[in-house]
Structure 1
């Protein structure tokens, strides 16, 4: 494994503070990206902690699920009862010391807490206020949303009908990941604008519209034109046989898009007689005959093992890779070499694998920062930094406004 070295230059968002009032995956994936860019992320949790602490799988402690740990490393945790009347002074100091406020609380609930954009920006005009919603202004506004709900509403699940005869969800949180990445990108754009104008502003990233745009860009097809010049849906992508290809002992993932790649593939699999077949001769022809093309590929590879085809097709210049399981992915030599997987000892959970950022700054991978914290682990330290005295902090603990333990920076650093 390659251990990341200290970067020669500071990370792009060093010195930026993010107040993170998000939970589960979409919001935390956005703030994880900001943390990997160098931002200080203060994660605000309820006194019970983020739902993902338990929803994301079993753990030794019962409160640091695998999924929670992967989406919440490099973040400080502060536990607050946002509905407590004495919480407001804490929130105002946090907002006043932050560059970015990001939340996925529903708009009406956010308004009741006095954390809507208008209220926050009136007091903190340099703040970038970002809200992730399930649905933007429209008939669905305010409805609750999770990833699978959005996959259905945005047309992702329905795409599988043409291929498999029934709708299905992508077996990972596709909507949450996409929205998280779009959110992080929009926030960095707002930071750039603020650097020129000195003003903050308001951002909203609606999940349904964001994912629907991806689906329609890919599959609107002939319905793009008025009147329509064909059916919607990319028939090549939606072809039932457009799947990893079975070999004699496993599967490989192969794609040939250009004519030279197709010619190389046909020669490598011993099907030279098809070089002049009109169905496969051009890009347009293969698009029209995608069913025959995928069926031919499947038949060609089934008689030799995976290792054989990886070698032969790679030598022929055909894009091919093994079709990994989760278990084999952990052993992939490329991922091991690049340092994406980093082994470390967590102070609560013991030995773990952290998944690093794949982004390289100045040609170099950055370290993953510290591992995910226990709920409220940094409450005391953050309040001290905001200027609260020990008596004030103790009173807030006793009144139930804040939660968590009185941990030190040394404890946090021990999780690195």
Structure 2
């Protein structure tokens, strides 16, 4: 079986995280992803523990299913390589600021002139219509600009979400944009440019939950969904913590019955979803008081038997031995040619015909430079001249 994007060539002019996340999705779907890196390599090659320089854990998990080509784009011969590759590419994706690409002669207009059918996806920090369009952007900055650090309890200091959520969500959205643009091209023959701004992407994520009363004009109340901000956290038990998500009247009735407090649903504050929403702090305080009286294992057994949505609170260590993830085949130990045995995560979706998979191990810096240049039609003499000039390396 082959992936759904087999035969699609992607030029990957991205670094750090948002762009590499996007192109890894495309590579797992079978696309031939050519990762174009500067001579010093992607900036995240050194992040996290590593067995060898430039092959850190974070890089390994964002750059599989790709080939690495080193090009020093400050050298004209290297920029010419990008233009030659673009003639036969289907997609170019970048998260370099547009003005910097224009200075290099790699703007959408210039790429379109060599390949009108090219899908050109530009990940930017801030949308081109606003005053911040030229500002640099990183995950922390975009989290801040979208208000994520402020979404904590009133007595908690502002803090970032402890994962690179802005980079990773934007990367997924960029991969989705590629798929939509390719589908349009399959029907029309037309390539196009797509801009995927991080701030607008993450602001829509945040505000979909928290615009609340400001959704309406005039406003029906303030912003912020209070359950998420004030009281959405695991419940302490006698010996640990437990996580519940109870929503419908039926679920709440079953929960209180299982906890031995069925009469709680007779309280007008808790009898309907609308009333519970207005009395969340009192509701959760009651639940917390009850849950502290028994241990986690006992509660989990009771709630699972009653079909009440419940989960244990995992840590990063315990997640690695999750019975469900292990049984579902999520983890896979693979042999990397230079890094030895590493633990990989398979693509999470399951397809009946064109299953995405890891198509290549994460590449070493410049590992495929010579091969890709040969495929592009460069002669051995031309390739050696580029190695000598520093335009490329392996």
Instruction: Provide TM-score, normalisation by structure 1.
Output: 0.92
- 1:340–1:262 CA distance, 2 compared to 1 (3 A): same
Deviations for 1:221-265, whole angstroms, at most 9, x for unmatched residues? 1111111111111112222x3201222222222100001111111
Q: 1:220 aligns with which of 179, 203, 211?
A: 211
Deviations for 1:97-154, whole angstroms, at most 9, x for unmatched residues? 2100000001110100111111111221010011100011211011111001000001
Moved over 6 A (4+): none
Q: Does 1:234 align with 2:258?
A: no
Could you tell me how far apart the structure 1 residues matched to 2:233 and 2:155 are? 11
Could you tell me how far apart the structure 2 residues matched to 1:224 and 1:61 are? 51
Q: Is the 8 A contact 2:30 2:356 kept in 1?
A: no
Partner of 1:251: 241
Alpha-carbon deviation of 1:364?
8.2
Q: Does 1:22 align with 2:14?
A: yes
Partner of 1:333: 323
Alpha-carbon deviation of 1:271?
1.5
Partner of 1:372: 362
- 1:14–1:163 CA distance, 2 compared to 1 (3 A): farther
Q: 1:307 aligns with which of 273, 290, 297?
A: 297
Q: Give 5+ residue unaligned stretches, structure 2.
A: none
Alpha-carbon deviation of 1:366?
4.0
Q: Is the 8 A contact 1:151 1:175 kept in 2?
A: yes
Alpha-carbon deviation of 1:199?
1.2
Alpha-carbon deviation of 1:301?
1.6
Partner of 2:344: 354
Q: Is the 8 A contact 1:242 1:294 kept in 2?
A: no
- Give the SS at the match of 1:222: helix
CA RMSD of aligned residues (A): 1.4
Partner of 1:316: 306
Could you tell me how far apart the structure 1 residues matched to 2:347 and 2:366 are? 25
Deviations for 1:309-343, whole angstroms, at most 9, x for unmatched residues? 22111111111111110111011111111111111
Deviations for 1:347-390, whole angstroms, at most 9, x for unmatched residues? 22222101111011117854322221110101111111111121
Could you tell me how far apart the structure 1 residues matched to 2:341 and 2:119 are? 37
Alpha-carbon deviation of 1:291?
0.6
- 1:323–1:163 CA distance, 2 compared to 1 (3 A): farther
- Give the SS at the match of 2:167: helix
- 1:30–1:185 CA distance, 2 compared to 1 (3 A): same
Could you tell me how far apart the structure 2 residues matched to 1:223 and 1:89 are? 51
Q: Is the 8 A contact 2:7 2:31 kept in 1?
A: yes
- Give the SS at the match of 1:209: helix
Alpha-carbon deviation of 1:298?
1.8
Q: Does 1:97 align with 2:88?
A: yes
- 1:334–1:209 CA distance, 2 compared to 1 (3 A): same
Q: For residues 84-233 of structure 1, what are the structure 2 equivalents within 5 Å?
A: 84-137=75-128, 138-160=130-152, 162-233=153-224
Could you tell me how far apart the structure 2 residues matched to 1:340 and 1:368 are? 12
